[in-house]
Structure 1
Amino acid sequence: MNAWSVPGYTESRELGSGGSGRVVLAVHDATGVPVAVKYLSERLRADSGFLQGFRAEARLLSDLDSPYVVGLYEYVEAPRGAAIVMELVDGIALRALLRQEGPTGPEAALVVLKGSLLGLAAAHRAGVVHRDYKPENVLVALDGSSKLVDFGIATDRGSTPGVAGTPAYMAPEQWNGEPASPAADVYAATATFYECLTGRKPFSGENFAELALQHVGAPVPEEQAPEPVRPLIRRGLAKEPQERPRNADAFVAELEEIAGVAYGPDWEERGQRRLAALAALLPLLFPSGGAQAAGTVARATTTLGDGGPDDARGGRHARSWNPGLRGALATAVALIIAAVAAVAAGAVGDSPGGRTTVRAVTTAGPVAAPEATPGATPGTTSAGPSGSASPSPAVSAPTGGSPSASGGATAGTSTP
């Protein structure tokens, strides 16, 4: 049996895959716009909890309006599959860049940290905690800019107590099963910053128990980092959440002050050029093979329903998204795929009431990938463009709320 695909798109190749699904490169037939499509795996789609989490990820992304977060175009659910259609970021995962090229240098590391924090700040202002910030979930584009992806285990601030995240980047309170907070995202972003500076993770225990002990009690290894940025590392990796910046916005303010004093007013421009130069060394890891994306969607609106599978257009109205990417502007009509389109795609099925079950919501923007591999051990995989690869498997032991899904894939798109 052929795998289900979203109607209205022509797929060209797979960008990444993992335990929670796969991400493919595709083109929107009506406009010629390249996109990344993330499919939830059949195994997880059969689990109502994971399916609800996948819907929640799409709903969250539809509400985030930031150039530092991959944007959502539409969410489609039919009897044979569920998919998130997202912005294709022509870039590579920070993990791939670090693995291939090593430490980035302080100015480039500061640029990565600032861009990621601005993406986290958009989520924090919306009351959302990412919970799985790591190099696999940061994409670096050809111009040296970066975007945050993979909100697969994100949750509301203060909710969902329990151990969840990727062990090498989890804050002490995450190991202790405390409720999610923006300070935990600040900790993970700082751990990634440390890795950009030194080429190694701040703590390198060989198993969960060692990592837990190190994150909770070991001194912050700031001496391995350049002296001017050690205050950021001390603050961001503080053991107590109240000793860290309260959220990503607050940390950005501290970063800009320290960076300006240490490296001068042009630090950000130099850092972005450095990142662009490093990314250019790895052209084959880009979705486009190094070429610029050809088009963009002008505008669309998304409606995400709160009901069951038969609820195709109910619920709250999401933001309009008007991307400022280069390339020819293609007109965009928000695509609400009806049952007829689903039939054409072979996605026909009967709901209990005898109706074909198809959910479709659309907007213009991107998303990230879900992650969840309970009991997984730290590891790596490759990553790429508009999505996230999940090199270091995420751990999740949810206690209520939407389940987490953590896979391992890579692409320049958000991957499952």
Structure 2
Amino acid sequence: MSDPRDPRRSEPEWSLPGYRALRVLGEGGSGKVVHAVDERSGAEVAIKYLNEESRARPGLLRSFRDEAQLLRQLDSPHVVRVHDYVETAEGAAIVMELIEGVSLGAMLRANGAAVPEAALSVLKGSLLGLAAAHAAGVVHRDYKPGNVMVSNHGVSTLVDFGIAVRQGADAPSAGTPPYMAPEQWRGEPASPATDVYAATATFFECLTGERPYTGATMAELAVQHITAPIPEHRAPEELRALIGHGLAKSAEERPVSAAAFLTELEAAAGAAYGPDWERRGRRALVAIVALLAALLPSALGDANATPP
């Protein structure tokens, strides 16, 4: 029986010249992500391909191109780096940094809730990535566990800017329902505070093993995110104020940016867990990633695998 991860089974309709595919990391309706080797330098990369059907839709092709352009402007070790963008009559591809590790989503599915220091470490790294985006006037709009990478060194990185927009831009409402801020549900423009909300919802899930709101339908989720009480009582007491602020129903009542929220995180973490909290958190993350890599080798590079 052939290996379902054999890249020969899922070869893109068009392959970027100069790169040898090793395996498919992820595949979706719009395209796929392939782990590949640059035949000139020997460097391993992740290549995100847009499929033929999606390229034929001008809006999707424009969004794909915009994602590459946005990422090239962000210089942060906590944002996935873009090496190249190629668009021809045959195809379109983004050549990205290959991040060795697992997505936070994979961690949560396999390991459940993390110890507070580890959850805080994940949040800190990805907030640094968001802060770089916000400083450049970019709102991510889709912060969620599947878009946060935890490397084998315990460092978190933000990936997939596929629906990111310029701050203040008039764009259709978009996001992932369990992590969408009230203003996204109401169809209002996204802001850095929108990303803070999604980051806090993800942080809450890291701490408790559960999402803050678990409505079974879109309508239930909308009502919960817009009107239901903030469930900070389910989190450790020392971090409830942080969660309450980040999940405030009104964007005006939340931290104005990821950088502002990061300042609050540092203060809360230090007061609750001492000056050594981040080292302990990263050590816990390294152990989890190593275990998952041993048990689930297909999870390696998972954060690169979010399809376009």
TM range (shorter): over 0.9
Find the counterpart in structure 2 of residue 96 from structure 1.
106
Aligned residue pairs: how many?
A: 298
C-alpha displacement of 1:163: 2.3
C-alpha displacement of 1:385: 1.6
Question: What are the superposed Cα offsets for residues 17-42 of structure 1, whole Å, 9 maximum, x if unpaired?
Answer: 11121000100111100000000121
Q: Secondary structure at the match of 1:165?
A: coil
Q: How far apart, in 2, do the equivalents of 1:48 and 1:118 lie? A: 32
Find the counterpart in structure 2 of residue 133 from structure 1.
143
1:282 and 2:292 aligned = yes
Question: What are the superposed Cα offsets for residues 135-167 of structure 1, whole Å, 9 maximum, x if unpaired?
Answer: 000011111111000000000111134321000
Residues 7-406 of structure 1 aligned to structure 2 (within 5 Å): 7-284=17-294, 289=297, 385=301, 387-388=303-304
Q: How far apart, in 2, do the equivalents of 1:42 and 1:170 lie? A: 30
Letter in 1 for 2:181: A
Question: What are the superposed Cα offsets for residues 330-360 of structure 1, whole Å, 9 maximum, x if unpaired?
Answer: xxxxxxxxxxxxxxxxxxxxxxxxxxxxxxx
C-alpha displacement of 1:2: 7.1
Q: Secondary structure at the match of 2:157?
A: strand
Q: How far apart, in 1, do the equivalents of 2:20 and 2:171 lie? A: 41
Runs of 4+ with deviation above 6 angstroms: none
Question: What are the superposed Cα offsets for residues 108-143 of structure 1, whole Å, 9 maximum, x if unpaired?
Answer: 000011111100000000000000000000011111
Q: How far apart, in 2, do the equivalents of 1:226 and 1:192 lie? A: 15
Q: Which structure is higher in RCO with an 8 Å CA cutoff and minimum separation 6?
A: 1
Q: How far apart, in 1, do the equivalents of 2:295 and 2:190 lie? A: 33
Q: How far apart, in 2, do the equivalents of 1:150 and 1:248 lie? A: 17
Letter in 2 for 1:268: E
Q: How far apart, in 2, do the equivalents of 1:195 and 1:387 lie? A: 17
Indicate if the aligned counterparts of 2:68 and 2:85 stay in contact, CA closer than 8 A: yes
Indicate if the aligned counterparts of 2:13 and 2:51 stay in contact, CA closer than 8 A: no
Quote the RMSD (CA, aligned, Å).
1.6
Q: How far apart, in 1, do the equivalents of 2:299 and 2:250 lie? A: 32
Find the counterpart in structure 1 of residue 307 from structure 2.
415
C-alpha displacement of 1:415: 3.4
Q: Secondary structure at the match of 2:239?
A: helix
Letter in 1 for 2:57: D
Q: How far apart, in 2, do the equivalents of 1:234 and 1:162 lie? A: 27
Q: How far apart, in 2, do the equivalents of 1:182 and 1:78 lie? A: 34
Q: Secondary structure at the match of 2:269?
A: helix
Q: Which has the higher helix share?
A: 2
Letter in 1 for 2:235: A
Letter in 1 for 2:301: P
- % identical aligned pairs: 61
The unaligned stretches of length 5 or more in structure 2 are 1-10
Letter in 2 for 1:144: G
Q: How far apart, in 1, do the equivalents of 2:33 and 2:243 lie? A: 34
C-alpha displacement of 1:12: 1.1
C-alpha displacement of 1:384: 5.0
Change (3 A) 1:2 1:276: closer
Letter in 1 for 2:39: D
Indicate if the aligned counterparts of 1:131 and 1:153 stay in contact, CA closer than 8 A: yes
Q: How far apart, in 2, do the equivalents of 1:275 and 1:2 lie? A: 34
Q: How far apart, in 2, do the equivalents of 1:285 and 1:50 lie? A: 36
Q: Secondary structure at the match of 2:153?
A: coil
Q: Which has the larger radius of gyration?
A: 1
Letter in 2 for 1:229: L
Q: Secondary structure at the match of 1:23?
A: strand
**Which segment is superposed worse, 199-208 or 152-161?**
152-161
Change (3 A) 1:54 1:285: farther
The unaligned stretches of length 5 or more in structure 1 are 290-381, 389-410
Q: How far apart, in 2, do the equivalents of 1:62 and 1:74 lie? A: 9
Indicate if the aligned counterparts of 1:10 and 1:28 stay in contact, CA closer than 8 A: yes
C-alpha displacement of 1:78: 1.3
